Amino acid sequence: MITYCAKEQSFHLSTKNASYLFAIYKNAYPVHLYWGKRVYGQEALWSLEAAYRRFERLLSPEPDDDEFTLEYLPQEYPAYGTSDFRPSAYQVRDANGDRISDARYIGYEIIEGKPPVPGLPSCYAETDDDVQTLVIRLRDERLKLTICLYYSVMSEYDVIARHAEFCYDGAEPLYLENALSMSLDNQRGYHEMIQLCGTALREKHIEKRPLGNGITQIESLRGVSSHQQSPFCALVNRNTTEHSGDAWGISLVYSGNFILRADADMYKSIRLQVGIHPDTFSWKLSQGDSFHTPEALLAYSSDGLNGLSQRLHAIYMQRLARGLWKNKERPILLNTWEACYFDFDHNRIVELAHAAQKAGIELLVMDDGWFGHRDNAASSLGDWYENRRKLPRGIKGLAEDVNALGLKLGVWFEPEMVSPDSDLYRAHPDWCIHVEGTKRSTWRNQLVLDLSRADVCNYIIEQLTNVLSSANIEYVKWDNNRRITQAGSALLPADRKGELFHRYMLGLYRVLETVTQRFPHVLFENCASGGARFDPGMMHYFSQTWASDNTDAISRLKIQYGTSLQMPPLFITSHISASPNHQLERPSPLAFREHVCMPFNMGYELNLLALDDQELAQIAAQCDHYRRIRRLVQFGVFSRLTSPFEENACAWQIASNDGTEVLIWYYKPYAAPEEAYIRIYPVDLDPYASYMDQLTGKRVQGSMAMQLGLTIDWVNGDHFSQMWHLKKES
- Most distant CA pair in the chain, distance: 84
What whole-number distance in Å separates Cα of residue 77 and Cα of residue 183? 5
Give the number of other CB atoms < 10 A from CB of residue 80.
Answer: 17
Give strand pairing partners of 365: 335, 410
Q: Which of 180, 99, 194 is nearest to 140 (CA)?
A: 99
- 290-292 and 295-301 beta bridge pairing: unpaired
- SS3 for 217-266 is EEEECCCCCCCCEEEEEEEECCCCCCCCECEEEEEEECCCCEEEEEEECC
How far are the Cα atoms of 249, 415, 544, 577 from residue 606, in angstroms, in the given order? 37, 25, 20, 5
Rounded to a whole number of angstroms, the distance between the first and last alpha carbons of the chain is 38
DSSP run (H or E) holding 624: helix 613-635
| Helix, strand, coil % over all residues of the chain, rounded to 5 | 25, 30, 45
Residues 6+ apart with CB under 8 A from 333: 361, 362, 363, 364, 365, 410, 475, 603, 604
What whole-number distance in Å separates Cα of residue 120 and Cα of residue 291? 11
Residues 6+ apart with CB under 8 A from 236: 190, 191, 192, 194, 245, 246, 247, 248, 305
- 174-186 and 270-276 beta bridge pairing: antiparallel
Active site residue 423: no
142-173: buried (b, 16+ CB within 10 Å) or exposed (e) per residue? ebbbbbbbbbbbbbebbbbbbbbbbbbebeee
Residue 612 burial class via C-beta count within 10 angstroms: exposed 0-12, middle 13-18, buried 19 and up? exposed
What whole-number distance in Å separates Cα of residue 636 and Cα of residue 659? 9
Q: Choosing from 94, 303, 535, 549, which is the catalytic residue? A: 549
Active site residue 624: no
Q: Choosing from 94, 158, 421, 479, which is the catalytic residue? A: 479
Q: What's the count of helices (H) and strands (E) in the chain, helices before strands?
A: 13, 38
Angle between helices 394-404 and 346-359 (to 10 degrees): 20
DSSP run (H or E) holding 210: strand 202-210
Give the number of other CB atoms < 10 A from CB of residue 202.
Answer: 17
CA geometry: angle at 485 spanning 90 and 376, to 5°? 140
Query: Where in the sequence numbering do the catalytic residues fall?
Result: 479, 549
